[in-house]
Structure formats: structure tokens, C-alpha cells
Amino acid sequence: MRIEVEKLTKRYRDADRELTVIDNLSFSFPDRGSVAIIGRSGTGKSTLMHLLGALDSPSSGCVRYGDTNISSLRSDERAAFRARNIGFIFQFHHLLPEFTALENVALPLIMSGMSEGEAQERSGALLDKVGLASRKEHLPSQLSGGEQQRVAIARALVARPAVVLADEPTGNLDVATASDIQRLLLEINREQGSTLIIVTHNHELARSLDMVVEMHPGGALVVQRDGRGANA
Ligand SMILES: Nc1ncnc2c1ncn2[C@@H]1O[C@H](COP(=O)(O)OP(=O)(O)OP(=O)(O)O)[C@@H](O)[C@H]1O
Ligand SMILES: [Mg+2]
């Protein structure tokens, strides 16, 4: 799915000051493939992800998915759009504590109307793929941090969303586990033909992706791998 941001601006206001975090940003993401968002703390990476995921509205400008301007949707339409098109993976994964790994992954499918049997079968296959074949019946509290994060990844990808937004998905894991999980995300991204947008502090990973958006306090630098570099 083609995602474009056009003249995207986000300001936060408190009582006595205004902070422009994203300032008139215009560029397109690739239809499929992988994109890294990098930059120092506080430069607006999470803010951009929230705008891309229709979790927050821009101060001006818009985000388009294909022909749909998601910034102009009503909040119920936005929720429906998110459920159909976007998988979210965040640093803190918010698994449901009273449900097993398998149930956590299957739940979004069942809520979207899939039969329980089919949902469990598809979820089980994805849990096998992320290396949790023997952990399906465990509760989140019975899993390690990295295992919980892999459940969260399976849950985000199980409905095969066209777009996957990952905000520091491995930020709280050791280096080796983090790089395993990143490799897995890229592998599934290629298999599913989706667009993966990942916030990362790992510059080596960023360099290996199709596009890099580097956030700076004054604006963003967009580097496309086909050789076109653009200041946005
Ligand atoms: N709801 C809010 N109200 C006011 N200011 C906010 C709000 N959310 C974020 N900010 C400010 O906007 C700026 C960008 O925040 P953001 O969370 O997007 O940064 P980030 O690049 O994701 O940083 P990090 O690497 O630390 O996660 C920061 O200065 C932050 O304090
Ligand atoms: Mg952040």
C-alpha cells in the first residue's frame, strides 16, 4: 500500500509555549519493503508513527494510504481502517494477561469474524514461525520478555496487514535477541509483501533497509535507496 505524507505538521501546545515537532514534511514511502525511522530522542519519531498509524491527528497536512486521506476520517472510521490495514508493534507489548499466547494472537482474527478453529490454526502456524511452538498455551506471565515480544509480533502480523508500524520493537531486549527479532520481522515483511516501518537506534539495520527517514530537530532527511536523496 502506498503511503504519502503531505505538508505534515504536528505541534504540541502547553500553557505558555508551542513546540513544532514535525514541520511541513512531504514524501512517499515505498509500496512495499522496509523503512527505518532514525534520530535522537525527542526528534519526533513516535509522533510520526502515531500520525502514520492514525492514532493521532496532524496539526495540518495529511497522511494518505492509497487514495484514502486517513487524517480526515472520523474516529470510528479510523479505528476500522487501522484494524483492516495496519499492524502495530510497540516496545511495551500489552498482551492480555489472562489469555494464552495462542489466544492473544488469535483474538484479532476472531474479532474480525474468522471462525475460532481457523483463527487458532493460522495463529498457531505463525507462533511456530516465531519460534514459540512449545509456548502456545503459556500465559504472558510465564514467558520471557523476548518471548512476549515475539507473541506481540505474531499478533500484529496475523491478519497480514498491508502496513506494519514498529516503534522500537526490540528496545528492551538484549542485542542478540533484538537482532533475531529484527531479522524475523524483515523475513515476514518480505513474505507478506507488506510495508514495514520501524523506529530503530540500530544504524546497521537502518542501512540495510530500502529507505531511511532521519528525524532532526529542524526537519527530516529522507534517503531512498534507489539513489534519490531528498530533504523534506
Ligand atoms: N502529548 C504531548 N504533549 C506535549 N509534548 C509532547 C507530547 N508528545 C510528545 N511531545 C514532545 O514532542 C517531542 C517528540 O516526542 P517523540 O515521542 O515523538 O520523540 P521520539 O523521537 O520518539 O523520542 P524517543 O527516541 O525518546 O522515543 C518531544 O520533545 C516530546 O516531549
Ligand atoms: Mg519514541
Comparing C-alpha atoms, which of 74, 130, 81, 80 is closest to residue 101? Answer: 130
- For residues 59 and 11, is the Cβ–Cβ distance under 8 A? yes
**Model pLDDT for residues 117-140, shown as the tens digit of each residue:** 999 999 999 999 989 999 999 999
Q: Best of 8, 20, 43 to mutate for ligand 1, by most ligand atoms within 8 A of CB?
A: 43
Comparing C-alpha atoms, which of 200, 104, 116, 198 is closest to residue 152? Answer: 104
Distance 118 CA to ligand 2 centre (A): 36
Q: Does residue 10 have a pLDDT over 90? A: yes
Distance 176 CA to ligand 1 centre (A): 28
**pTM for the whole structure:** 0.91
**Model pLDDT for residues 61-105, shown as the tens digit of each residue:** 999 999 999 989 999 999 999 989 999 998 777 899 999 999 999
φ/ψ of 222, rounded to 5, equals -110, 125
Grid cell digits, residue 213: 527517514
Q: Does residue 223 have a pLDDT over 90? A: no
Q: CATH 3.30.43.10: does it fit domain 3-96+160-231?
A: no
Q: Does residue 28 have a pLDDT over 70? A: yes
Q: Is 10 in the pocket of ligand 1 (CB under 6 A)?
A: no
CA atoms of 49 and 138, how far apart (whole Å): 31
